[in-house]
């Protein structure tokens, strides 16, 4: 509504306008209904008055007129005629005698233009003797139209005054309705539209809620509703904050996991939820089809019963996970896939899939198995070493005694030869011709080699040793020097030709260890690396020789390196020994610490060097040792030793 002075322009769709129209129409109908009976009543009264006038003329004027005509008193007759025309309903009257029917002898009034009432009376006088004397005829003429016009004017006057009264009443009611009803309701409506925490005690509400009528009841109801709404909103706000905090904690927990947590619609295969680790690998997954995202080098992760929902096993009532381990050969990783069906509160059934990278677990499991093998083989190795050592010592001593007796010019040897009918020179010529001395030398060499194996087996089973504080960098450098003096790969390659790159962290703390055994570990790794690089150079040389390309065993040394790295990680020292030139496969990495496992040619390795090294690091020093390789060009041994 828009104010214009005292008045208000009322919109057609407003309650005030509708209420005013209702009042106006109903009041007009009431006025019309009241006017009709009033008009009919007035018409009836006028008609009755005319009837009474006619009766009065018949009863009063006609006898008097008969007498005046009988007495020939024309003046009196004329007075009577003038009296008749003043009667309501008679406009004109005329008197005829028996001899002048065409023209009246007397008349009174004005002949109306429209005649709709004529009344004729025969005038006669009864004498004393009882004779009736015919005197003439009285004709009464009237126009009832004027009566109807008068009645219509009266009705219009009544109607106009009634409608004017209705308009005045409607206006008064409208003003009153506007002030008492429409305006308060409008304010209440505007209040509810702009309802917030700030206008809970709005002036409009405070003004109206004290009223005792229905508007006051509405205002109080709105105020009560507002208070309840504010309470509900505050509770909702608190609940939303708690829910948001709970969702944040829930998301933080899921996003901090190192596993992929994915929720998938059973039938559409669209991802409904994925945590941060999954999004980092596969991008934003929500809304996308799972099998279209997890592809390429991770396509094996689609093998967790994803291809056909009908093939998915039915989960038990307790809702336990179905677990499947997948070897992803593309990335050389192991994954554990856990899947179960859950039902949300909406009734929607989805799959919860939890995918965990268990590559390290697999490696640690293999290491545990390896450690158990080492422990079980430790006791076995000690017993075997002692059992082998005694006959081996006897064999070597007897071989040495035979060699001494054959080569010595002692008196006992000469006498024995003479007794046999020969001499030492002949015997020696025969033995040399049959290469018996070479066989004895080979027996000695084989015995020495067997003794080394026995010593390695004893070292493998022996845990106790003297430990002291050592500088691990100095131990590694000493071992490198030792390898340079000791190793020549059967004269084919010189260890000193390998480029040594040192990356030592400064101010490293001393560690408590058995220096001799740690050097043994370093030496085993350095020897294996040097041998691997030597074989790589020799293979390349043979290949080039076959193709006609000139190449020497030492021409590729500029590509061969040992990279030695030492640094502190928390409470441990990390030593990395990396050799270039060749790599090892995943299969070899899994078995490299097994006892008696070797990839070297027969007669070169015993298969115990790295097994003993593993035992020294893990069992004697409570450390860790592992191997990594790209399978082509490098191998890295990683050793972790506790500082204390």
Tens-digit pLDDT profile for residues 18-50: 777 887 787 778 777 777 777 777 778 777 778
* Nearest residue to 267 (alpha-carbon basis) of 349, 355, 342, 343: 349
CB 439 within 8 A of CB 486: no
- Residue 360 clears pLDDT 50, i.e. is over it: yes
Task: Name the residue with tokens 């350095």.
Answer: 526
Across 96-105, average pLDDT: 74
Task: Report how far residue 157's alpha carbon sits from residue 159's, in angstroms, rounded to the nearest whole number.
Answer: 5
Distances (CA, A) of 31 to 19, 39, 163, 175: 18, 12, 7, 22
pLDDT score for 13: 66
- Residue 65 clears pLDDT 70, i.e. is over it: yes
Task: Report how far residue 331's alpha carbon sits from residue 298's, in angstroms, rounded to the nearest whole number.
Answer: 8
Mention every residue, 6+ apart, whose C-beta is less than 8 A from residue 530: 483, 487, 489, 493, 495, 498, 579
Confidence of residue 623 (pLDDT cuts 50, 70, 90): very high
pLDDT score for 48: 78
Of 319 and 1, the one with more pLDDT: 319
Confidence of residue 487 (pLDDT cuts 50, 70, 90): very low
- Residue 605 clears pLDDT 90, i.e. is over it: no
Which is it for the CA torsion 440, 442, 444, 446, positive or negative?
A: negative
Q: 10 Å Cβ neighbour count for 331?
A: 12
Across 576-595, average pLDDT: 84
pLDDT score for 73: 84
Token reading at 100: 């002048």
pLDDT score for 564: 94
pLDDT, tens digit, 9 for 90 and up, residues 133-158: 788 888 888 876 666 777 777 778 87
pLDDT score for 642: 93
Residue 624, helix vs strand vs coil: strand
Task: Report how far residue 68's alpha carbon sits from residue 106's, in angstroms, rounded to the nearest whole number.
Answer: 13
- Residue 640 clears pLDDT 50, i.e. is over it: yes
- Residue 276 clears pLDDT 80, i.e. is over it: yes
pLDDT, tens digit, 9 for 90 and up, residues 430-439: 888 888 878 8
pLDDT score for 378: 55
pLDDT score for 489: 42
pLDDT score for 458: 62
Of 635 and 590, the one with more pLDDT: 635
Across 480-503, average pLDDT: 69
- Residue 365 clears pLDDT 70, i.e. is over it: no
Strands 499-504 and 561-569, sheet pairing: parallel
- Residue 379 clears pLDDT 70, i.e. is over it: no
Confidence of residue 427 (pLDDT cuts 50, 70, 90): confident
- What percentage of the chain carries pLDDT values higher than 90? 7
pLDDT, tens digit, 9 for 90 and up, residues 200-228: 555 555 566 666 666 677 777 777 777 77
Compute the mean pLDDT over every residue in the chain, rounded to the nearest whole number. Answer: 76
- Residue 447 clears pLDDT 70, i.e. is over it: yes
- Residue 101 clears pLDDT 70, i.e. is over it: no
Distances (CA, A) of 178 to 20, 174, 612, 632: 10, 6, 105, 95
- Residue 5 clears pLDDT 70, i.e. is over it: no
Across 462-477, average pLDDT: 80
Confidence of residue 2 (pLDDT cuts 50, 70, 90): very low
pLDDT score for 364: 64
- Residue 315 clears pLDDT 60, i.e. is over it: no
Confidence of residue 294 (pLDDT cuts 50, 70, 90): confident
Of 555 and 65, the one with more pLDDT: 65
Residue 627, helix vs strand vs coil: strand
Across 80-84, average pLDDT: 86
- What percentage of the chain carries pLDDT values higher than 70? 76
């Amino acid at each position: 509504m828009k104010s214009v002075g005292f008045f208000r322009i009322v919109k057609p769709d407003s309650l005030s306008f509708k209420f005013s129209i209702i009042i106006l129409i109903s009041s007009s109908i009431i006025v019309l209904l009241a006017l009709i009976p009033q008009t009919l009543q007035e018409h009836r009264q006028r008609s009755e008055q005319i009837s009474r006038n006619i009766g009065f003329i018949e009863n009063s004027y006609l006898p008097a007129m008969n007498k005046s005509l009988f007495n020939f008193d024309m003046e009196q007759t004329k007075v009577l005629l003038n009296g008749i025309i003043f009667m309501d309903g008679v406009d004109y009257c005329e008197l005829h005698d028996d001899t002048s029917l065409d023209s009246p002898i007397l008349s009174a009034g004005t002949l109306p233009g429209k005649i709709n009432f004529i009344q004729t009376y025969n005038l006669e006088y009864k004498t004393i003797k009882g004779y009736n004397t015919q005197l003439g005829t009285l004709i009464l003429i009237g126009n009832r139209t004027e009566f109807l016009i008068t009645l219509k004017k009266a009705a219009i006057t009544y109607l106009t005054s009634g409608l004017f009264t209705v308009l005045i009443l409607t206006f008064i009611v409208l003003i009153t309705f506007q002030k008492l009803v429409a305006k308060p309701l409008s304010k209440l409506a505007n209040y509810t539209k702009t309802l917030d925490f700030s206008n809970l005690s709005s002036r409009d509400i405070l003004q109206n809620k004290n009223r005792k009528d229905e508007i006051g009841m509405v205002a109080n109801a709105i105020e009560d509703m507002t208070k309840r709404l504010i309470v509900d909103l505050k509770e909702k706000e608190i609940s939303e904050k708690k829910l948001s905090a709970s969702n944040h904690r829930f998301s933080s927990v899921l996003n901090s996991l190192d596993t992929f947590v994915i929720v998938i619609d059973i039938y559409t295969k669209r991802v409904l939820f994925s945590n941060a680790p999954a999004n980092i690998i596969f991008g934003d997954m929500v809304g996308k089809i799972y099998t279209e995202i997890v592809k390429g080098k991770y396509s094996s992760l689609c093998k967790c019963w994803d291809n056909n929902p009908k093939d998915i096993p039915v989960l038990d009532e307790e809702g336990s996970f179905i677990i499947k381990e997948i070897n992803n050969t593309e990335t050389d990783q192991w994954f554990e896939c856990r899947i179960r069906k859950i039902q949300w509160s909406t009734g929607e059934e989805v799959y919860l899939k939890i995918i965990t990278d268990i590559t390290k677990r697999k490696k640690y499991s293999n290491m545990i198995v390896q450690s158990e093998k080492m422990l079980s083989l430790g006791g076995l190795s000690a017993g075997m070493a002692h059992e082998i050592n005694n006959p081996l010592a006897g064999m070597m001593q007897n071989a040495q005694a035979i060699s001494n007796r054959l080569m010595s010019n002692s008196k006992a040897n000469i006498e024995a030869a003479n007794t046999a009918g020969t001499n030492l020179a002949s015997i020696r010529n025969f033995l040399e011709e049959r290469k018996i001395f070479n066989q004895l030398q080979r027996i000695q060499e084989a015995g020495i080699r067997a003794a080394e194996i026995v010593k390695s087996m004893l070292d493998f089973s022996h845990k106790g040793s003297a430990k002291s504080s050592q500088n691990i960098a100095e131990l590694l450098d000493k071992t490198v020097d030792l390898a340079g003096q000791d190793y020549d790969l059967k004269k084919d390659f010189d260890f000193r030709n390998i480029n040594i790159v040192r990356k030592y962290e400064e101010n490293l703390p001393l560690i408590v260890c058995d220096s001799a055994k740690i050097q043994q570990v370093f030496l085993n790794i350095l020897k294996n690396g040097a041998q691997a690089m030597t074989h790589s150079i020799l293979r390349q040389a043979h290949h080039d020789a076959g193709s006609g390309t000139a190449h020497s065993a030492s021409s590729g040394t500029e590509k061969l390196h040992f990279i030695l790295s030492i640094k502190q990680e928390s409470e441990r020292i990390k030593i990395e020994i990396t050799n270039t030139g060749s790599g090892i496969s995943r299969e070899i990495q899994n078995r490299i610490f097994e006892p008696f496992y070797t990839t070297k040619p027969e007669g070169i390795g015993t298969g115990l060097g790295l097994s003993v090294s593993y035992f020294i690091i893990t069992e004697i020093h409570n450390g860790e040792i592992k191997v990594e390789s790209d399978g082509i060009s490098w191998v890295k041994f990683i050793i972790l030793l506790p500082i204390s």
